[in-house]
Structure 1
Amino acid sequence: MDRDPGPARATLKAARAARAASLDEWLTGLLHDAPADVALAAVGSHARRELTPGGDLDLVLLHRGRPDVAEIADRVWYPVWDSGVRLDHSVRTVPEARSIARQDLKAALGLLTVRHIAGDRAVVDDLRAAVLADWRADAPVRLPELSALCRERWESGGELAFLLEPDLKEARGGLRDVHAMRAVAASWVASAPGEPVQSAHDLLLDVRHALHDATGRSADRLVLQEQETVARALGLPGADALLRATAESARAIAYAADHLWRHADRLARRPRPAVSGIARGPAHGVGRHGAWRHGSDRPRGGPRTARPGGRAREIERRPLGDGAVEHDGEVVLARGADLGDPALILRVAAAAAQAGLPLAPATVARLAERAALPPVPWPAPARDALVSLLGAGHAAIGVWEALDQAGLIVRLLPDWEHVRNRPQRDPVHRFTVDRHLVETAAGAAALAREVARPDLLLVGALLHDIGKGRGGDHSVTGAAIARDLAARLGFPAGDVAVLAAVVRHHLLLPETATRRDLDDPVTVKTVVAALSEVPGRERETLDILRALATADGNATGPAAWGTWKAGLVSDLARRAAAALSGGTPPPVPEPGPEKLALARHDGAAVRVAGTRITIAAPERPGLLWRAAGILALHRLAVRTARVVSSGAGTTVLDFTAVPEYGTPPDPATLEADLRRMLADRLDVAARLERRARSVRPRPGVTVPPPSVRLVDDASSTATVVEVRAHDRPGLLWRIGRALGACGLQVRAARVDTLGAEAVDVFYVVDEAGRSLTDPAALSSVRTQVIAVLR
């Protein structure tokens, strides 16, 4: 956000300050001869010196029980009414005002910022002290009420950042949210809003001021016909720049509010420490500068939570991945995390999204300040972490927003700056361009099992509108940008070509399906001709485009996608797939000569070299899944697995496996366990069951259901079983065991983990070495595999 408000905005701020001073002087004159026990105070925007031209003047006349207070009040109210200023007024004793504040939440919020204007200052000071004391004492009750009030307002007002005609005050991310955050800070449960929120608040206040000047009314909705005028008043080049500025401010406020309410909700559920003989204040209990201050990482062991009686216990730290742990409901850096690791930022973000947890703001700030960025081209671990982040689905949106607020997204993907907060002047779209891209990627995660390359679908979804706002056809411009970005991310040349084609033709299916006659042969030929840009990968690209069309339509809004359009796109994709049919499946990989040499050495051998594990042993049922079980026991996540037969009674297994978190296991210990498995001296099943029982499921985190498909005509000698599921420890073990329970042998396999998605293909035969043809047997295989996945 631009920290320099510019001369136009500085003029608006000066005008508000001058008006506040002028009003104070005028009101003081109206009460110049008031008795010593009477005072005039401001609440609301005038108390904060933020009164805009259309704002109401909110005043309270305070007294200590004077019988003639009505006459004194008339000397103030009538001149104000005669001036034409909109006035909200009340006359109260201090006990009356205090009592009302304890009963009425909105009255309490106003009185938290009460400011003396004229008369007896001690009366106002007494009221302020009493209201603040009550507010802090009643925080366990009042803060949940305030939280509910905010959520009701968000539901009715929508999200300011994504509205074409936003309400600057009431919508989510608007001025009211900053007022609520200040109220929470007044309870000593959280710190006051920081500089980013204050800057965002000032921008929205300036927009509101300029809107009131332009319309001469008190309305707070920034309607389309006023946006150019307001933009000029703020020194901005036009309405789009105005909407981008308001969106950026609103998102900064909404992000801070989300964290604050999570923090407040956690503290509301936590027993508060007993503090005897000490007034509770900022340095005690839930203090503004105490151990529970939100947004900070407590040194020497982390924050503590209180037990009844004032004793404290350490909050549990649960590992989530390499470099990331869960701590008090948020994800923070693990002790000793390598800030020089170029994949750390994305790996920690992916761990948070996959766990359905937010990133701690202090952790995000530390990553932004000190963590290394991936070199160009990105190494594979950084690219995989990005895919894993996107593959978390809608849980990735909040994590992405946290990285964006810290400026990390534009540092990772420089072209993102051009679409960041860019409005879409189309009421069909629900979001700004950047948020639409993230929403599309989140929706694509649920469709990842419908394509051969989920990673290309997810990255293609993230980039499909990256060319918007640059003039010309955004698909053509975006394809060129996507080509550069894909190379930056380290994709090989063939994948770069697919991603460029996906971005170039992301509207091909929906536009063709809704604008052309599907029965005309030219329609399908047009689609096939476009796919020919990626020779040899036409069907793969077609499947990605079909899934992307669904995710893009759903992310755009209900007006852009429905059953009718989905049916047309699906029909066109089927026709195009039929036109592309006739190819052969990729050949089953053969073992390299070095692996066969290893196998011939002594008939059964194991080699562990870093993340590469190679096993050669005589053919026998269950070898794949038993070996996968050993890797799972050693907390290794299988990224790739290849199973091939030498044709001479020997099977070669080639795994790539990485630690789930922390350091890798001792190679000698892993090799010893693999050899014990080969010698049938290790009960893999029992040990895996014990580990599974120790893993605590995390409530509220949902993933798409698994998919098991028996692929017709993919092989003439085996039955091909394709399994797509959310990756988790021991997944390959469970699948293989289910296939073994069906009496099947795995003749060959290709196992890949793309981000958070496992894409496993097994070529299986029965005990006689034949493929399955009986429909009942095929159905049984599918049922049993799905059962173990669920």
Structure 2
Amino acid sequence: MNARANIPKPAADPGKRIVRQRDIINRRTLAETIEALIAEHGITQARPKILPLLQQALADGRAEISRRLIEKPSAGHEAAAAQSFLIDQLVRIIHDIAVGHQYPVNNPSSGERIAVMAVGGYGRGEMAPHSDVDIAFLTPFKQTSWTEQAIEAMLYWLWDLGLKVGQSSRSIDEMVRMANEDLSIRTALLEGRYIWGDTGVYEESKARFFADVVSGTDRTFVSEKLAERDARHVRMGDSRYVVEPNVKEGKGGLRDLQTLYWIGKYIHRVASAEELVDVGLLTTDEFKRFRKAANFLWAVRCHMHDMTGRAEDRLTFDLQTGVAKRMRFAERTGKSAVERFMQYYFLNAKVVGNLTGVFLAHLDETHNAGVRRFIPNITRRPKKLNGFTLDRGRLALPDENFFEEDPVRLIEIFQLADKHELEIHPLAMRAARRDAKLITNKIRKDRRANKLFLDVLCSPRDPELVLRWMNEASIFGRFIPDFGRVVAQMQFDMYHHYTVDEHSIRAIGLLARIGSGDLVDDHPNSTETIKKLKNRRVLFVATLLHDIAKGRGGDHSILGAEVAMKLCPRLGLEPYETELVAWLVRHHLLMSAMAFKRDLSDFKTIQDFVSQVKSIERLRLLTVLTVVDIRAVGPGVWNSWKRQLLTDLFQAAEEMLLLGHKQRGRRERITQKKAALAETLDLPKAQFTKLVKRLTDPYWIAEPDDIIAHNARLMIHAGDDNLAISAEAYPERGATLVTIYAADHPGLFYRIAGGIHVAGGNIIDARIHTTRDGMALDNFLVQDQHCRPFAEDTQLERLKQAVEDALANRSKLATKLEARPLSHSRAGAFNIVPNAMVDNDASNRFTVVEVTAQDRPALLNELAYVLFESKVTVHSAHIATYGERAVDTFYITDLFGGKITSKARLNSLKKKLIKAAGQKEAEKTAA
């Protein structure tokens, strides 16, 4: 076989794409200067003089590339090619120094030859400012002492320039053997490009690579690259809509586009992405979108490297604002510049996903390359496909004009896919994407089209998968234009992990899974509740619409309810259903606000909630909607503590709605809890009577039976001691229960809070009690920085010791708190304006104060200190965090146990709390 047969043309020299190359680096002038220095001083003495010249050339070249990028902020390909060109010239100069002067050979043998080849992204001629420099040093045979010395000399020059070099030194035979064994080596060599040195060695290595490595291994390479891609997606979060995406490795990022090129080059031996059109893997239009998406992603990546001075590929919150500004995105009504930039980013990531699907479909059709991702499991052929056909088990089109003949089929194909649990053929998806423009107002108002859409949305099977297909094909946003407005829209905060459309689709998927009983262990109450609903489709439509008005410059709940009133009749909902959907959208945050920010043991909390909900059906609908909304925010947001709070609120509200009042009055509840405690403790009657007399009625109402028993044991164990501290894992709440039994005195709460923060804990709930004989009995629920309970003995001991030290004032609490790191390392990218609200109507007994501020270490401690200085008593504290935003709610009274009613005093308290909440931000701004 001719080793040189079927070899792709050489990849284009990146320098050919660069204008005014010598403004970046003038290799000829630099080389002449270096030659003169060597001639004058000799190579040994000239080396210290040469290195600064090369370092300056690298710095000047990078500065020029950076200047061009800022001047043309979207010119990603130009910037990437310019960086590769700059490194090329430096490598060529270094090669000539090492081979021509450091280790010269007048009459080299056949083995004393070296070819320098760029591989990987560098071989493709695409580099960000701080990308690795991937180089292969190739020799015809096993390395000689001369080749080892010359290669080592070149590497030292590159290292001294501060470049991160990924290098390999191999003979041609070694290269072939290792490429056959290792997929990553094979991929890197696939993009090998000649830089300098012996051209014969390079040409021979290239011929051997394609003859002895690539030939006959197409199917294996494709399947391995796709498996590698899938594993990378899982590692990166398996969604292209995560709000801090990895531009290089994430789903929809540069690596996905590169994977397409690698596969195309491996199978068709193309030298550039443009040639994927010539071999029929992409259309001209699709290649333009490929090129446009790649250009944008490269621009973003180059800006990130340029801004950070390092190889940073994760588009973190603190970088998003800067990149948006550099790329000249402007603010619009309802959307900040950074949100508009990120929406454009995600739209490009979506393009990458679409291209991937089309590309793989072509491979599957033309090469049977084993790229099918989902094999439908059907035991019979569906009889009624309404003109659609089956192609190897996938829903396909009989001809290219099928959608144009009846555009309602653009909805119907997805309804059939859901109904029969079929995969849609990628070429049919391509046609749907192409013909999406056929969905006009006429189609949107078509009764049959709306019924088909509603069938998909409310499917008991897997609506999440099919709706995601609809979204990928742009059909979803065309059919529901209000949804189209939130496609790829992110929210610039640390709470929401996904774009609005992705979040909504995930929430619908969770609804279906709860409805089918798949999540009974995680959501027992919702699983039981959803069975009792009279109208499930109301719940699915409300879930679709709950965030649909985000980014419009107003309260998205109110605006979303207005959207529901217009859209629901179009979808075919009855007037009463429309009203119900609108109510759910308008109040979809009500239940979580009540559960997480209010005291559920306070009768007024339940009363206020029920007064808004008004019916059992609304309560059931709102409960399930709240659960899927929270869980679909992102991994780790849902936990057992939130489940317990929502369940407690649901049960209390259900009881009040069914009976019109609490089933058991205050006195009956206290009696029941005392009886339960008596049975648990089994104390002598006199001792038990003495114990329970010390506890006030509000204590019995506020605490559940298990915590009452735990507290009682601690009090008994403490005896006459004035201090007892307990810390133990509380799995039912997903937190650690820290209980302090101590002599009550002013400032106790803020000192306890400070001690817990010093130990690395975050307080999520606190109940403050005083016994009738003047002892404090305080219960805190605590989690670590990752929202997990402290469970190890060493952690629990550290918690107890830190609280004890704080109460005994053994160390300077403020100094230790200052040393604590930020709970979120990137929280500095956000600026939350602090606010305090006072409500004397939210409770019959307490004044409720709610403080919103940027989350930071010891925020609760500082707020508690303000309350202490203001001479108020804290009875309970409820702490909710939403990414970088903290909402701390306090139930307080004056020192005599009454509500605070003085307007002057309340205004003064608000000002002090706002000042304390914003203190760190003010210090940061001043600095």
TM-score bracket, shorter-length normalisation: 0.5 to 0.7
2:294 to 197, 201, 205: 201
Distance 1:196 1:576 in 2: 58
Q: Name the counterpart of 1:242.
A: 341
Q: Name the counterpart of 1:491.
A: 573
What are the equivalent positions in structure 2 for 1:482-561 lying under 5 Å apart? 482-516=564-598, 523=605, 526-527=608-609, 529-530=611-612, 540-557=617-634, 558-560=636-638
**1:48 corresponds to 2:124:** yes
- Residues 32-51 of structure 1 deviation map (CA, whole Å, 9 limit, x = unaligned): 58879542210012111211
CA distance 1:527–1:236, shift in 2 (3 Å): same
- Residues 42-93 of structure 1 deviation map (CA, whole Å, 9 limit, x = unaligned): 0012111211111111111223227432344345334323332222222222
Q: Name the counterpart of 1:63.
A: 139
* Backbone CA RMSD of aligned residues: 3.7
- Residues 457-503 of structure 1 deviation map (CA, whole Å, 9 limit, x = unaligned): 21111011112222332211211122222244343433322221121
- Residues 302-331 of structure 1 deviation map (CA, whole Å, 9 limit, x = unaligned): xxxxxxxxxxxxxx9755643444423432
My pick for the range that moved more, 546-555 or 64-73, is: 64-73
Structure 1 residue runs of 5 or longer lacking an equivalent are: 268-282, 296-315, 533-537, 582-790
The residue identity in structure 1 corresponding to 2:214 is W
Distance 1:544 1:263 in 2: 45
- Residues 657-692 of structure 1 deviation map (CA, whole Å, 9 limit, x = unaligned): xxxxxxxxxxxxxxxxxxxxxxxxxxxxxxxxxxxx
- SS at structure 2 position matched to 1:225: helix
Q: Name the counterpart of 1:451.
A: 533
Distance 1:383 1:21 in 2: 55
Q: Name the counterpart of 2:176.
A: 98
Q: Is the 8 A contact 2:560 2:585 kept in 1?
A: yes
Q: Name the counterpart of 1:22.
A: 86
Distance 1:412 1:445 in 2: 22
- SS at structure 2 position matched to 1:41: strand
Q: Name the counterpart of 1:401.
A: 468
- SS at structure 1 position matched to 2:442: coil
Distance 2:655 2:289 in 1: 52
Distance 2:235 2:301 in 1: 20
**1:410 corresponds to 2:410:** no
Distance 2:338 2:88 in 1: 35
What are the equivalent positions in structure 2 for 1:112-127 lying under 5 Å apart? 112-127=190-205
CA distance 1:11–1:443, shift in 2 (3 Å): closer
Q: Name the counterpart of 1:771.
A: none
Q: Name the counterpart of 1:230.
A: 323
What are the equivalent positions in structure 2 for 1:516-665 lying under 5 Å apart? 516=598, 523=605, 526-527=608-609, 529-530=611-612, 540-557=617-634, 558-560=636-638, 562=640, 563-572=643-652, 574-575=654-655, 577-578=657-658
The residue identity in structure 2 corresponding to 1:14 is E
Q: Name the counterpart of 1:388.
A: 455
**1:9 corresponds to 2:85:** no
Q: Is the 8 A contact 2:486 2:501 kept in 1?
A: yes
1:465 to 530, 544, 547: 547
- SS at structure 2 position matched to 1:118: strand
Distance 2:656 2:291 in 1: 54
- SS at structure 2 position matched to 1:235: coil
Q: How far is the alpha carbon of 1:108 from its aligned partner?
A: 0.8
Q: Name the counterpart of 1:178.
A: 257
2:281 to 167, 183, 191: 191
The residue identity in structure 2 corresponding to 1:470 is R
Q: Which has the larger radius of gyration?
A: 2
What are the equivalent positions in structure 2 for 1:280-291 lying under 5 Å apart? 286=368
Q: Name the counterpart of 2:406.
A: 341
Q: Name the counterpart of 1:361.
A: 426
What are the equivalent positions in structure 2 for 1:119-198 lying under 5 Å apart? 119-133=197-211, 134-159=213-238, 161-188=240-267, 191=281, 194-198=287-291
- Residues 370-390 of structure 1 deviation map (CA, whole Å, 9 limit, x = unaligned): 464262762332222112212
Q: Is the 8 A contact 1:524 1:575 kept in 2?
A: no
Distance 1:351 1:576 in 2: 44
The residue identity in structure 2 corresponding to 1:414 is P
My pick for the range that moved more, 188-197 or 224-233, is: 188-197
Distance 1:580 1:236 in 2: 55
My pick for the range that moved more, 516-525 or 497-506, is: 516-525
The residue identity in structure 2 corresponding to 1:401 is R
Q: How far is the alpha carbon of 1:353 from its aligned partner?
A: 3.0
Q: Is the 8 A contact 1:514 1:568 kept in 2?
A: no
Q: Name the counterpart of 1:221.
A: 314
- SS at structure 1 position matched to 2:624: helix
Q: Is the 8 A contact 1:6 1:235 kept in 2?
A: no
CA distance 1:76–1:153, shift in 2 (3 Å): same
Q: How far is the alpha carbon of 1:294 from its aligned partner?
A: 9.1
Q: How far is the alpha carbon of 1:216 from its aligned partner?
A: 0.6
Q: Is the 8 A contact 2:73 2:299 kept in 1?
A: yes
The residue identity in structure 1 corresponding to 2:342 is L
Q: How far is the alpha carbon of 1:107 from its aligned partner?
A: 0.8
Q: How far is the alpha carbon of 1:337 from its aligned partner?
A: 4.9
Q: Is the 8 A contact 1:160 1:166 kept in 2?
A: no
**1:111 corresponds to 2:193:** no
CA distance 1:369–1:421, shift in 2 (3 Å): closer
CA distance 1:566–1:512, shift in 2 (3 Å): closer
CA distance 1:325–1:100, shift in 2 (3 Å): same
Distance 1:514 1:579 in 2: 25
Q: How far is the alpha carbon of 1:428 from its aligned partner?
A: 3.9
Q: Name the counterpart of 2:892.
A: none
The residue identity in structure 1 corresponding to 2:655 is R
Distance 1:178 1:9 in 2: 21
Q: Name the counterpart of 1:73.
A: 151
- SS at structure 1 position matched to 2:118: strand
Q: Is the 8 A contact 2:451 2:571 kept in 1?
A: no
The residue identity in structure 2 corresponding to 1:353 is D
Distance 1:9 1:330 in 2: 43
CA distance 1:248–1:26, shift in 2 (3 Å): same
Q: How far is the alpha carbon of 1:564 from its aligned partner?
A: 0.4
CA distance 1:111–1:569, shift in 2 (3 Å): farther
Q: Is the 8 A contact 2:503 2:632 kept in 1?
A: yes
What are the equivalent positions in structure 2 for 1:611-760 lying under 5 Å apart? none
CA distance 1:82–1:560, shift in 2 (3 Å): closer
Percentage identity across aligned positions?
25
My pick for the range that moved more, 405-414 or 203-212, is: 405-414
Structure 2 residue runs of 5 or longer lacking an equivalent are: 1-68, 101-107, 269-279, 331-336, 374-379, 516-529, 662-927
The residue identity in structure 2 corresponding to 1:203 is F
- SS at structure 2 position matched to 1:116: strand
Q: Is the 8 A contact 2:459 2:512 kept in 1?
A: yes
The residue identity in structure 1 corresponding to 2:263 is V
Q: Name the counterpart of 2:895.
A: none
- Residues 637-670 of structure 1 deviation map (CA, whole Å, 9 limit, x = unaligned): xxxxxxxxxxxxxxxxxxxxxxxxxxxxxxxxxx
- Residues 696-737 of structure 1 deviation map (CA, whole Å, 9 limit, x = unaligned): xxxxxxxxxxxxxxxxxxxxxxxxxxxxxxxxxxxxxxxxxx
Q: How far is the alpha carbon of 1:120 from its aligned partner?
A: 3.7
